[in-house]
Amino acid sequence: MSAKQQTGFTLSGMMMFLLVMVLALYTASRIVPSYMDYWVVDKTLKDLVALPDIQNSSDTSIRDQFDKQLSVNNITQITRDDLSIERKSGGIRLSVEFSAKKPFLGRMSLCLDFQSAAHSGGGD
């Protein structure tokens, strides 16, 4: 007689799989909100440079529009002063760099660095 070989998960294998999944979900819950803020900032920059009169607008006016969009989207870690405005021949370049420090486990934190830029007209 031959014995049938059993297949399937062991309890310890299942527990290890669940531990890895919980850690992955916890990590995602910590970093996804920061990436969502980054995507909103990136879209805001692209929307601003797409405005037809952006090149004739003053820096203060551009910063006001940027700040208004941040307020509408409830983004508080970036301010109007973080916006860099470069005027080049035939275009304008808007950029932002920011960091997000998120608590992770105990005394460990995650530090996420973001940068976004958008330009209109004549190249980079």
Q: Which tokens in the block code for residue 91?
A: 């275009």
**Angle of helix 59-72 versus helix 11-49 axis, rounded to 10:** 150
| Residues 99-122: tens digit of each pLDDT | 999 999 899 999 999 999 999 875
What pLDDT is stored for residue 8 in this prediction? 73
123, pLDDT greater than 70: no
* Res 94: pLDDT: 95
Q: What is the pLDDT of residues 46-90, one digit of tens each?
A: 999 999 888 888 999 999 999 999 999 999 889 999 999 999 887
Q: d(Cα 41, Cα 95) in Å, to the nearest integer?
A: 10
Q: pLDDT grade, residue 3 (50/70/90)?
A: low
CA 101 to chain centre: 12
**Residue boundaries of the structural domains of the chain:** 33-119
Reply yes or no on whether the pLDDT at 1 is more than 70: no
Sequence-distant (≥ 6) Cβ neighbours of residue 119 within 8 angstroms: 49, 88, 91, 92, 93, 94
Q: What's the rounded mean pLDDT across residues 25-50?
A: 94
What local confidence, expressed as pLDDT, does residue 115 receive? 96
What is residue 4's three-state secondary structure?
A: coil
